[in-house]
Amino acid sequence: MVTLFITSVFAQKTNAVDLNTVLKVVKVHQNAYAPEKAYLQTDKNTYFLGDTLWFKAYLFDKLSLSAAEKSKILYIELNDDTLDNVKRISIPISYGIGWAQIPLSPKQFHEGTYTLTAYTNWMQNTGSASFFRQRIYIGKPSAQIWRIHPAIKLNDVGELDVKLVLSNADEKPVASKNIMALIRDSDKVVYRKEMQTNAAGEINLALKLTDKLKSEGLRLYISNATKDEPAQLLSIPLNFNRPAKIDLQFLPEGGHLVNGLKSVVGIKALNEDGKGVDVSGTIFNSKNEKVTEFKTVHKGIGKVSFTPSAGESYFATINDVNGNNLHYDLPKIETNGTVMHIESNAAKDSLILTIQFSKNLLTTSNYNLVGESRGFVSYARAIDAENTIIKVAKNIFPSGIAHFSLLKDTTAVNERLVYINQHDNFSLTLTTDKPIYASRDSIVLNLNVKDNTGVAVNGSSFSVAVTDDAQYKADTLGNNSIATSLLFTSDIKGFVEQPSFYLKDTPESAEALDNLMLTQGWVGLNWKNVFTPKPVKFEAEKSIVVTGKVTNANKKPVEGAQVLISSQKPVFFKQVTTNKDGIYRLDSLPLLDTASFFIMRQTKNGQLSRFGKTTVNKFEPAPVSYYAPPIKPWYLDTDSVTQVRTENGIKQLDDFAFKTGKTLNEVVIKGKKKIPNSFNTRGADFTFDPKAIKASGVTNLYDFLRTQLPGFRIVMKNSLVTAVYGKYTMNLSIDAGYLPFSFKYIKPTIEEVIATLKGYNITAALGIEVLYSQKYTRAGTPDEHMPNANVFFDPKQGLSKDSLRKSELKGFGASNDDDFLGHRFLAAVGLVEYRGTIFITTRFNAGGGDNNLNRITYRPVNSIYAKQFYAPKYITRETAENQDLRSTVYWKPDIVTDVNGNATIKFNAGQKKTMYTVIVQGADLQGGVGGTTAKIKVE
């Protein structure tokens, strides 16, 4: 491991205090935030419903890559591409490691691409850009689902021509079938047509493209329009690229183009689908004089050099495939400023930095150069006119991305990224006891780990995934390896295509890597936050902590208040008292699966207090953001590997009795139990009792409805935020009233409504009843307790009497405020629809919460503990055949090397002839990381 140190060199004309101040402030910032990094090795990245996602987590101190000491709880999330959180769990971390699994139940997950995210609560202080992320695809295999072979192209009149060839699982054409084709741009429908396939199973459609339609959010949905046949709902990404829509970016090295100063400019060209596209072109000045030519070299990334002139403007042109000349403006030329250039040659042991100043800046300002990596300053010096060409030794930086900043006072005027490779990752060797194995044979692998000096690595922690090549295409290139993630992709913003290519030891990769450093954003020190620090908001968690506040009727904190915290699992009662700020705290609680705490403020006599208010601080999850392009569904252009995996996935799903299509019939829980104390007097199509609610594994109302009712969404309808379930408009009722959305606005946003639904903890629910059929909705007759109104706010809470003038109501027949706020007004403006209702009954019968504000039920994020991967010894042929269904043949997260750097891995081969891919990743949690892959042949 590289020893980090700071070298400071001061010129005679430079004030050293300025630099020392910078270093002191940075050190305070580092100590305050102490950044962490996480890495997850998964058994694979494509799954089917019914599979289990196995993973091992590594949690590091970002600077040293030693085991993180601040946090002992890691949050793992699966978020779909609608930016909904589908699954959130926590796992305990001990000495920087932990492992567990996520069953991908058809009851909770739907088909699609997900982002697997890992972070600690403490990591949220430095922003979500530093979280671990990996793309995951979850498919829903079925023998009845059509296979689709799409052909998508642009025609000469600006239309998107789509040809689909539909076939059955046996590759026979889906002939003469009535289907519905629907195209959505995000949530907006832009095309809808019913059509019929021809004898070859083909359909053709054309969509007129507008500037507003983007490839990124455009999807075609195909459904079966024949009612007496199995439902189909297939999603096809409409990836297309209009040459005229190439996004060509010019990114000056260091940030600016300055008059008279020679500059290197990074070039980044992206197609509409978000992927890089290689281009070549010419740069001209305002007089249309050719300045220079340029050409990207890899994935649309390259660079060009030229010297801009004062008063000039520059533009570039490229020619698309149709010969059209496309025009792009370069950034504005700054009259005065600085330019920082870095020469990074992989074969040399030093970096050469050249700093150029406009003439009038040479004597008027002091500048400091700071080089940092992993959040730690490794190099710093003051800069003046006599020190503008600087040689910086690479060996003072650790492996990974180094970030150089030229500071003027507290402002970074130039920034540049450089990748440093110290070639100090662990060397892993995997050897087998046989060159080829027979079916059902015992396989023995020996793992040997050495550091970069050849010394055996003792006590390192590794995980291994063995997958079947006949069913899964493993990541043999290392795009998701521990070294690639920790030392490369986690320190730059945005999605990087094929990151392993940049880390190859070739001249082409080295050039492409330096070009990428010119064009990619930085995840690290933010100088604005360094010099103007924000309070640390998120606590480093070592265990479950229950905290909250007690206030009196005047909203003042109450000191010495008695608060009882109890739990049924494990059974305990604990009484705590509030401090002078009214805060109560109970910590060192164990991580529990579906833990639930009952919190009650007591009087001195041990009774429930009826005065003031008690609150609890709940875990605040990180915002969900879009990460990368979606992964192609399994039923599109199915190859032989996917076909085998699909057939086995179908067999696995038989146990779930899972039906295809996103219809109401897809819901598994169809019990019609009577829910105690429910205000619903009609009966229900199906109900969820407390056992079913608990089994869902979610904690809030929104996540429950979205995961347990496939097709439940929050959408805009009639200019109002509305809940829909498939084709039904659904009203939501908690106990005897509407959900109390108390927004300041007449029309809350979708995001506000979702946030409000997420605020409802379903722990207190006695049951949930879903009514949508005519038998139970009694269309046209409002229920005496709950009219089936398509209204997403309580009229008496969501609208202010002062929010609309009386004159604005007359046209709707509202003669007074009560009419306006009542059912008549809602009906008059078309906001009442007699469709379906979802009744939620709580144990408090108080609209989703307790009447008393000093009694709370709180459920923290579920904690999942590791289960053992099932790896049977093949005694019978039946056992062997069952095991061969799985694409993950073996998974083991707890491999530890001995004093000689060795570890033994044992498992059994399946019965089929195939090839296995073995991927091993790990770390010593003291700064060293490494991984390797191997192939095993089974005859």
Residue-wise pLDDT for 651-662, tens only, equals 766 554 433 333
Burial of 537 (0-12, 13-18, 19+ CB in 10 A): exposed
As given in the structure block, the two tokens for residue 667 are 């819901």
User: What are the pLDDT digits (tens) for 394-408?
Assistant: 999 999 999 999 998
CA distance 384 to 393: 20
d(CA 718, CA 739): 19
| Residue 656: DSSP 8-state | G
Neighbours of 156 (CB within 10 A): 6
Contact yes or no for 236/164 (Cβ under 8 A): yes
Q: Which residues touch 121 (CB under 8 Å, ≥6 apart)?
A: 71, 73, 75, 538, 539, 540, 541, 619
Q: Are strands 188-196 and 178-185 parallel, antiparallel or unpaired?
A: antiparallel
Is the preceding omega at residue 570 within 30 degrees of 0, hence cis? yes
Record the pTM.
0.84
**469, two tokens:** 């090549």
| 556 neighbors 550 (Cβ within 8 angstroms) | no
Amino acid identity for residue 559 in this structure: E
Label each residue of 509-535 as H, E or C: HHHHHHHHHHHCCECCCCHHHHHCCCC
* Burial group, residue 289, by CB count within 10 angstroms (0-12, 13-18, 19+): exposed
DSSP 3-36: PP-------TTS-HHHHHHHHHHHHHHHHHH--E
Q: What is the pLDDT of residue 738?
A: 58
User: Among candidates 766, 823, 623, 885, which has minimal Cα distance to 85?
Assistant: 623
Banded model confidence at residue 55, pLDDT cuts 50, 70, 90: very high
Q: Which residue(s) pair with 334 in the sheet?
A: 258
Q: What is the pLDDT of residues 11-30, one digit of tens each?
A: 333 444 478 888 888 889 88
Distances (CA, A) of 521 to 353, 401, 518, 524: 20, 12, 9, 10
For residue 144, CA distances in Å to 285, 632, 659, 785, 905 come to: 61, 19, 10, 44, 40
pLDDT value of position 372: 92
Contacts of 247 (CB under 8 A, 6+ apart): 269, 270, 271, 272
Which element (helix H / strand E) includes 649? helix 640-653
Structure confidence by residue, pLDDT tens digits, 129-168: 889 999 999 998 888 889 999 999 988 888 999 999 999 9
Helices (H), 696-749: 701-708
Range in 115-124, 165-174, 555-564, 631-640 the model is least confident about:
631-640
Question: What average pLDDT does the chain have?
Answer: 83
Nearest-CA neighbor of 139 among 708, 497, 627, 648?
648
Q: Which range has the worst mean pLDDT, 123-137, 456-470, 480-494, 723-737?
A: 723-737
Asked if pLDDT for residue 825 goes beyond 60, the answer is no
Residue position matching structure tokens 């809808």: 192
Beta bridge partners of 911: none
Instruction: Provide the pLDDT for residue 16.
Output: 41
Pick the residue with more confidence: 128 or 879?
Answer: 128
What are the tens digits of pLDDT across the range 881-930? Answer: 455 678 999 999 999 999 999 999 999 998 889 999 999 999 999 999 99
Cα 160 versus chain centre, distance: 30
Q: What's the pLDDT band for 832 if we cut at 50, 70, 90?
A: very low
Per-residue pLDDT of 523-549, as tens digits, reads 888 888 888 888 899 999 998 899 999
Cα distance between residue 265 and residue 242, in whole Å: 25
pLDDT tier for residue 117 given thresholds of 50, 70 and 90: very high
> Tell me, what's the pLDDT at 884?
65
Contact partners, residue 351, CB within 8 Å, separation at least 6: 342, 343, 344, 391, 392, 394, 418
CA dist 858 and 210 (Å) reads 49
Q: By percentage, how much of the chain surpasses pLDDT 70?
A: 84
Q: How far apart are the first and last CA of the chain?
A: 43
* pLDDT tier, 333 (very low <50, low <70, confident <90, very high otherwise): very high
Tokens standing for 900? 């000689």
Beta-sheet strand order (sheet of 290-295)? 290-295, 280-285, 314-319, 325-329
DSSP element (H, E) containing 915 = strand 914-923
Angle at 586 (CA atoms; ends 582, 590), nearest 5 degrees: 160
Mean pLDDT of 608-620: 89
Residue 742 has pLDDT above 70, yes or no: no
Is 90 exceeded by the pLDDT of residue 736? no
